[in-house]
Structure 1
Amino acid sequence: MNRVYLFLIVSMIGMQVFSQAKKPVADFEEKVFDFGEIKEDGGKVTHSFTFKNTGDQPLIIHNVRASCGCTSPEWTRQPVQPGKTGFVKATFDPRNRPGNFNKSIMVYTNGQESTIVLRITGKVLPREKTIEDIYPRAMGPVRLKSAHFSFTRIDPKAVKTEELELINTSDNPVKIEFENVPKHLQLKMEPETVKPGQKGKIVATYDASVKNDWGFVVDQIYLKMNGELNRQNRLSISATIEEDYSKWTEEQMANAPVIEIDDRVFDFGEIKQGEKVSHAFIVTNKGKANLILRKVRASCGCTAIQPDKTVIGPGESTKIVAIYNSAGMSGRQNKSVTIYSNDPKRSTLLLRLSGTVVK
């Protein structure tokens, strides 16, 4: 009996070894390839990883996936017979990707190693930037680095200055002036007249106390060139006006107002097109100082009625009524109401109305 058991054990081990030997094996000559230094504007580069099936069964590559869209893989689609060779080709596009790169290519097979990782590495040398690259926004005879001044966050009593560079790409001098400038903004051109090929800059100064607003605000300014006004030559100037509470002490924070809303999301369900629906959001001050509602702004399709009072004492409440008009609307709707207050932890609070409009 012992001999029988020994024979069975040896037979099972032999079958396992035989089974493993029968599996296909993708034996790659290399799994990492370094392209070295390549130029950003030199076009795509390609490398073919070659492998040999050293197993006893046909090898099938089920799929190949690259770690990013800048690498396009190709591979042998037909089964690779034992002793034969196949390939996985990786193509890398260096355009707009200066600097070092290290990309992986995942190869999925029916072989002994079901997932194989290949890598391509290298360094993309940046191309020389053109005038169009440096100044992408064209406005008549000049090009600008941007058509947008962003003042980001600004205190409601602060004055802030930003600059925007431009270049005259024409053959004639260009005198630049500004139209539709509101009182809270001052704009000047340095120099006032820009010679052909010369660089200049627009200097904008933003006085938030004069703007007297809250939250994200945008103004549109027009450029007049050599006395001519073209409405397409437009600059947008944005700012987020809110108080800076970062320097407040723990005591100040503990004694501050705290805004609370009974329910910040209202689902009006399903309504017919043309119907109106309203909802009252209850705003309560849970803090120790007066809560001031600076501003209430509704998104498109929704109207927020200003609350009965904008100064709410500790423990007091008020209502903000939002009215949604479904005229001309259909399908799923998501509208918002933004509240700006003096709560140092939640100075901007978003309320939502959602539902479905059917015809």
Structure 2
Amino acid sequence: MKNCLFLLFVSLMVMLTSVGIAQNSNTAGDAYKVKIGNIGFALDSIDFQLGTVMTGKVFEKEIGVMNLGKKNIGFLNTKQQPYLDVIVMPANLAPGSTGKIIMKFNPDLCYKIGKFDAEVTMQTDDPVNAYKFLYFSAYIVDDTVSKFGYGLIDSVPRLVFDQLNYSFGDLSHAKSMEYNFTFKNLGAEELVIDSLSASKGCKVVAFPKKVYSPGETGSVTIKISTLYSYGVQHRWVKIFSNDPRNPMIILGTHGSVYYKGEKNRDTGFCYE
């Protein structure tokens, strides 16, 4: 009889412990409200604010992450635009484990004063959704007065785009679309566009001219093709110029491609 009571006591303790662990796990998972594939982010939305950022300083932000899946997930590529460094620690997350994203934002490399919007792109080996996209806004403040003329920011050529990333949303398979990126030479010397290159499925259909005077504007029009593509897609164009601070700029586009007539597709592939 004593042995039976002892075994019953042990069984109850094991059950209570298991329930406690499950409750703690759920509570921890609830802190990661933004879920992209099997990765949870400790954010309220995929769009977040950095607030006011002063030039001359590097702004740092940490974002908690959690592997909500049942397999290990590795962060393979976190390379961003020159103004942003992203490190994920640890780079490999076991199921149920947590880590953090360390963002270092340098407003001096944005070459823009005022509201600034940007994208954070991370490539993983998550089988559900390989690419993770987050978006942030900052308000860049500079107390100094430009020495190089109205609207200019330096004495050398400066290639500055209005935006560096574009989301084309959902596109039907085998369809195409065009988008126009605009830029301005914010330097006090002539800007020279040396060359452009594009990834597969992306074509530059309207090239900028070769030379731009200080303060002059221009544009690059690209065409996205979805032939032989399906699911989350990422395209890019590289611009090479004589801008000494930023000799290569990458323009990125992304979206989701589905087959025509597909009934059960996930239209919110990034859970936006």
For normalisation by structure 1, the TM-score amounts to 0.32
Q: Over alpha carbons, which structure has the higher Rg?
A: 1
If each structure's strand is expressed as a fraction of its own residues, which one has the higher value?
1
**Length-normalised TM-score, structure 2:** 0.41
User: Which structure would you say has the larger RCO, counting Cα contacts within 8 Å and 6 or more residues apart?
Assistant: 2
